[in-house]
Structure formats: structure tokens, C-alpha cells
Amino acid sequence: MARRNSLKLEVDDSTFKKNAKKLLSDMGVDSMIFMRQQTGLLARDLAKFTPPFSTFPTSKGTGIGAAKDIRQGKLAVAVGLYSICHIRKRKSINWAKKAFGDGPIFSGKKQIAHGVIDDIESLALWHNSNRGSRGRTRNVPPTQRPFVFRTVFNKYLKKRQADVGTAKASFYKASLALNAKGAAPANVKKNLGKAIGSSSVKKKRKGPVGTTTGKAKGAYLTKSKFLPKIQKDRTIKAMKRLKYVGNKLARESFK
């Protein structure tokens, strides 16, 4: 069973229809090589359909995204953080701490803020406590949002925005493991080192089995909404590839 924040898929010969194995054998195509190709391409498809994306992706092309997708992701991070904080200058922070200490902040008898945050570590804890299992930031009612020192907020926002593209990077990394090359935005490439993703193909009794693994909270949407379409498209393309190879071999046999 895959962990909640991961996506693990297995693709074997049956995914490409029951007659795929016989077709491969009849055409003299190495089933291990074919499965490596298709598993790598599946991983690339997963990267393409993993957020962020500014417009809904298609299965066409080899690229997994563009700079505008990363900009969309960074904007979403900013919107999420603004929905849980009140950004204030040092003067306001000092006033609130002096008047209310670590407790809620009031204006008259009305609470206007949850408290004060003036360091990165506390803001990170606050942010993580308001993120769901899918990685999305919950909207906090204005009266329950803390005052956050502007400089601290800006540094933390920059840090979080640097992580945008890590979910895509997990499946991009998996695709590269099987040499399924494709263009990727700069932020995706930068996050390859911290991304967790892999692909492999093993020979088993029933035939080659390809496995693609990617772990990231951003993969939840890929799994819950797009996975059936991705698998269907890859099946169709795999069979088209088999037919193309078969026709090519047939033409060459008559030369």
C-alpha cells in the first residue's frame, strides 16, 4: 500500500493488452527494452500532469511543463500564506508583543489576531499546522491569523517558493532513470536533488514488470483525478508503437 503522500504504480504487459506479449514475440521485439521505454514514458506523463500547471496539460509533446507553470505554483504558495497571516512592520509587532505577550491581540473588546510571529521557525510551524494532507494551505479566519513580521514573512515565502516544482521533479526524476528525456522548467531541475522518484523494470515469470514511484504531497491530485486518463493514453500509445514497429519490420522483410 502506498503511503498517503506518495504515488506508486506498477505497469506490466497486461496494461498494454493481453496480446502485447505475443505481438512483441512475433515481431522479435525485446520485451524488456519495450517495457523500459513505456515505463519511462509513463513516468514522464505523470510529471506532466502533476501540479503546478497554468493551463491543463495534454499528452502531446515531450516537455513536462514551462516557466509559466512554476509562476502559477509560486503565486499559489503566496496566496496560501497570505490567507493565514497578517503581515506587519516591526512597530506593530513590538506594540502587540508589549500589549498582549504571546496571547491573542485585541482592539478594544474585539480580537483582531491570533498572536505574534517574528521568526522563521515559528512561521514554518504555523504554516505546517494549517496544511492539509494534500499539501494545500487552509484559509484561516482573519481574527485567528497572527501578526507576522514582514521581513520574516518575505524570507519564508521565498524559501517555500523555491520548493515549487518538487512534485513534478519526483516523476521527472523517475522518467530520467529510464532515459525518457523531456524538457523541464528550471525549478523542476533545481529540485531533482530533493525529489524522491524512481523507475525500474524487472523480469518476472509473467513477463517484464515496470514500476514507477514518486513521493510528494502534490502527487495527490495526479493520483485521484488524472491517473486513469494517463494510463489509458499510455496504453493507446504503446499499442500504436507496437503496430508501427510491426509495419516497419514487415516492409523491411520485403526489401
**Do residues 178 and 39 lie in contact, with contact meaning Cβ atoms separated by under 8 Å?**
yes
In the chain, % of residues over pLDDT 70:
84
Q: What's residue 3's pLDDT?
A: 44
Smallest CA-to-CA distance from 167 within 138, 197, 129, 137 is with: 197
Beta strands in 72-127 (DSSP E): 86-88, 105-107, 110-113, 116-117
In this structure, the chain runs to a length of 255
Please tell me the distance from the alpha carbon of residue 37 to that of residue 16, in angstroms, as a whole number: 13
Question: What average pLDDT does the segment 112-121 reach?
Answer: 95
Q: 142 Cβ partners below 8 Å, 6+ apart?
A: 86, 112
pLDDT reading at 53 higher than 80: yes
pLDDT reading at 158 higher than 70: yes
Q: What's residue 25's pLDDT?
A: 65
Q: What's residue 250's pLDDT?
A: 57
2 membership: H or E segment, kind and range = none
Q: What's residue 136's pLDDT?
A: 85
127-144, pLDDT tens digit by residue? 999 988 777 899 999 999
Helix, strand and coil content of the chain, in percent to the nearest 5, comes to: 55, 15, 30
Q: Out of 12-26, 136-150, 241-255, which region has the weakest mean confidence (pLDDT)?
A: 12-26
**Do residues 39 and 210 lie in contact, with contact meaning Cβ atoms separated by under 8 Å?**
yes
Please tell me the distance from the alpha carbon of residue 61 to that of residue 237, in angstroms, as a whole number: 13
Smallest CA-to-CA distance from 174 within 202, 221, 206, 210 is with: 210
pLDDT reading at 117 higher than 90: yes
Is the pTM above the cut of 0.85?
A: no
Please tell me the distance from the alpha carbon of residue 204 to that of residue 163, in angstroms, as a whole number: 38
pLDDT reading at 12 higher than 60: no
In the chain, % of residues over pLDDT 90:
53
